[in-house]
Structure 1
Amino acid sequence: MGSSGLARLQGLFAVYKPPGMKWLHARETVELQLLKGLNAAKPPAPEQRVRFLLGPVEGSEEKKLTLTATSVPTLTTHRLVRGPAFTSLKIGVGHHLDARASGVLVLAVGHGLRLLTDVYDAHLTKDYTVRGLLGKATDSFCEDGRLIEKTTYDHVTREMLDRILARIQGSHQKALVMYSNLDLKSQEAYEMAVQGVIRPMNKSPMLITGTRCLHFAPPEFLLEVQCMHETQQQLRKLVHEIGLELKTAAVCTQVRRTRDGFFRLDDALLRTQWNLHSIQGAIQSAAPRVAAELERNLRLRLGHQQLPSAGQPWGSKDPSSTVEVESYSGQ
C-alpha cells in the first residue's frame, strides 16, 4: 500500500501558504504529513520461512526430542524492527513566497521535480493582489516598518491612480518586448503580441504585464498586478513608488499571490488539506492541465523563437525604478 501510494505522488500541486509562515516551513510541513500518510498504510504480510525447531515427538510418551520443520514469519522486515518504511521525500518548491506574503505556492514531488524546470523555462506570469495604504512611508515599504514620513493624501483621486498604473504597464510592455529578443517588424512578433504570449527568453528584471485598481477608498487601495520575475519585496516597493508618483506616500499592507502559472487559488490546498489523500488527488487533477500547458508553451517557444534584429540589444542593465522603465529600455 505504501509503494502504491508513493507511485501516485508524481507531479505538481499547489498549496495555500498563509502569511507569517516561511516557504521552507510550509514545504517541511507537507513532507511530514506525506510521510505520516505513507507510513500509516497497512504493511504487507511478513514473508514466511522454514525453521527446524527442537521439540518432543507428537503422540509419543518418550521424552526424546526431535527437529520439526515449521513455517514462521520473518521479523527482519517488521515495522518495529526496521522502523518506518519512508523517512524522507524530495519535495521541490516553485516560485518562492516570503514570510509576509500569502497565496499560491507550487510544490513538486517525484518526476514533478523535472517539471519545475520546464515551468521556470516557460516564464509564465503570476497574478497578485496588493493592498496599499496612503499617507505614510516606512523603511521596509511595509506597514509595520519604521515610520520615516507622514503625508496628506486628500488630493489623490481614482483617475490619478489609474493614469499612474497605465504608465507603469506601458513602460513595462516596452521592456518586455526588448527582453523577448523579437524582431519587431516580423510577422511572428505581431502574432505573439496579438496572442499576448510575448515573454523574455532569459532571466530579466521584474516585468509587469498588466495592472489595475480593484478598489479605491482612501487611504486604502487594492491593486491587481500580473507580472513575472518578481519578488514580493519588489511589489511592496512598487506601492511605495506609486505613492511618490501621486505626490504623497504609501506603504504595502498585503501581498497575496492568486495565480502562479496555471495554478490558481481554487487549485491550492488549504492547511487542513495538507495530507496524503488530498495531495494525491490534487496531483491527479492537475496532471492533464500541466502537461497540456507545458506542451503549448514549448510549441510557442520553438515556433516563434527569433534572433534579435540588427541594432537591437541583447540585454540591458536592471531598472533603477519600477515605475520609470523607460530609463533602461532604451526608449
Structure 2
Amino acid sequence: MHGLLIIDKPQGLTSHDVVRRVRRLFRTKRVGHTGTLDPMATGVLPVAIGEGTKLVQFLMAGAKSYRATLKLGETTDTYDAEGTILQRRPLPPLTSDDIVRCCQKFIGDIQQTPPMFSAIKKNGIPLHQLARQGIEVEREPRNVEISRIEVLEVSLPYVTLEVDCGKGTYIRSLAHDLGEELGTGAHLTALRRTRNGFFDEADAVPLDRLESMPVTDIPLLSPLEAMKGFALLPVSIDAARALKFGIPPALEAIEGPCSIAEGDTAGLIYDGRLLAVVQFAPGRQKERRGDFELLRVMIPGDGDD
C-alpha cells in the first residue's frame, strides 16, 4: 500500500512513536512523517507509506499553523512545561494590547535560535542528548518565517495564540522569545498543530481510531491525492512512457492548460496516476532536456495501489 495518512497525533507520543505504530499496522518499514511534533504536542501529522515516502520532502515544505498556550512568569530548560523551571519572575500589569504589540515584533522573516532540547545535530549528536547531559552548546540563529500571530485569549499568566509559520519554526522558541521581549519569561504549556501544508484538523483521524479499523477501511490518500494543492499536469502517453526512462517532458507534451511559473513544483499525471514530481524549468529545453526538471519519479504502475 502506498500513500499518505493524515493522523491526529495524541499527546505523549513522539512523531517516531507514531511511525513505529503505523509500520506495525501496515507491516512495512517504508513509513515516514512530514514534520516532527514534540511529545507534548497534538494535532496534524501526515505520515507517508510506501511510495508515498517519496513525497515527504515536498509535503514538509508547506506552511504550518499552531494553537499555542504560554505561561508567563516562568522559564524552563526545554522552553515547555515538560522541562525544569529555571526562573520565576513577577508579572507586571500587562494588557492584551501589550501582548498583541509584542507579538507583532515576531511577524515576518526573523532570526530564531533553536532550543537545546531539539533534534538538530551538533557534530552528529542530537542537541537533546547533549542537553540531557547538562551540556549546552552555541546554536546558530536560523531564518524562519512567521506570517501571522493572533492573540486568542489572555488570562494571565496564560496567553493563547494562533501562529502561521514556515518550515523549521520552533513554537517553543517563539514562546521563550516572547517572554523575554515582555520581560516576564515564558514557556509553552500546550501546543496543537492545526494545519500542515494543505491538510488541516478536518482531514486528521486519531491514531487509536485508525488502529481499530480494518486496514482496508483506513482512509489512505493515494500519492495523487497527497499532492493536494500542487499543480497537477496531465501528460501525453508518449511522455508518460518516456518518464519510465527518466526523460522529462517538453511543455507541448502537457495535455491541457499549464499556468505554472518557472520554478514551481508540480505533479505529472497520466490515467489518474501520479508519475513524477517536477519543477518547471523551461530553459532546459534549450539543452534538449525537456521543460521540467525531475525531482521524484514514482514506480510506474505502482503509484496509487
Alignment root-mean-square deviation, CA: 2.9
Q: Which position in structure 2 is the counterpart of 1:237? A: 173
Q: Is contact 2:2–2:49 with CA below 8 Å preserved after alignment?
A: yes
Q: CA deviation at 1:296?
A: 6.7
The one of 46, 61, 84 aligned to 1:106: 46
Separation in 1, partners of 2:15, 2:110: 28
TM-score (norm 1): 0.57
The letter for the 1-side match of 2:148 is: G
> Given the alignment, which residue of 95, 100, 108 partners 2:35?
95
- The TM-score, its normalising length taken from structure 2, stands at 0.61
- Secondary structure of residue in 2 paired with 1:162: helix
Which runs of 5 or more structure 2 residues have no equivalent in the other structure?
Answer: 112-141, 234-258, 266-278, 280-305
The residue number in structure 1 matching 2:243 is none
User: Larger % of strand: which?
Assistant: 2
Aligned to 1:258: 194
1:16 counterpart SS class: strand
List runs of 5+ in structure 1 lacking aligned partners: 1-8, 36-87, 174-203, 306-331
Q: How far apart are the structure 2 equivalents of 1:145 and 1:154?
A: 24
CA distances 1:119-163 after superposition (whole Å, capped 9, x unpaired): 24xx31001111101111222212342222222224211001111
Counterpart check, 1:147 vs 2:139: no
Structure with greater proportional helix content: 1
**Structure 1 counterpart of 2:96:** 158
**TM superposition shift of 1:169:** 0.8
Q: What count of residue pairs does the alignment treat as equivalent? A: 210
Partners in 2 of 1:274 and 1:133 — Cα distance? 33
Residue from 135, 141, 158 that aligns with 1:220? 158
Are the equivalent residues in 2 in contact too, given 1:91–1:110 (CA < 8 A)? yes
Larger RCO (CA under 8 A, 6+ residues apart): 1
Farther-moved stretch of structure 1 (19-28 vs 275-284): 275-284
Aligned partner letter, 1:96:
T
- Secondary structure in 2 aligned to 1:272? helix
* Structure 1 match to 2:143: 205
Percent identity at matched positions? Answer: 26
Deviation at 1:278, TM superposition (A): 6.4
Tell me how far apart the structure 1 counterparts of residues 260 and 180 of structure 2 sit (CA, whole Å).
42
Q: What is the SS of the residue equivalent to 1:168?
A: coil
Q: Which of 207, 213, 220 in structure 2 is aligned with 1:283?
A: 220
The structure having more radius of gyration, on CA atoms, is 1
AA in 1 matched with 2:34: G
Whether 1:302 aligns to 2:251 is no
- Looking at structure 2, the residues matched to 117 and 269 of structure 1 have their Cα atoms a distance apart, in angstroms, of 22
After TM superposition, where is structure 1 displaced by more than 6 Å over at least 4 residues in a row? none
Number of the residue aligned with 2:107? 169
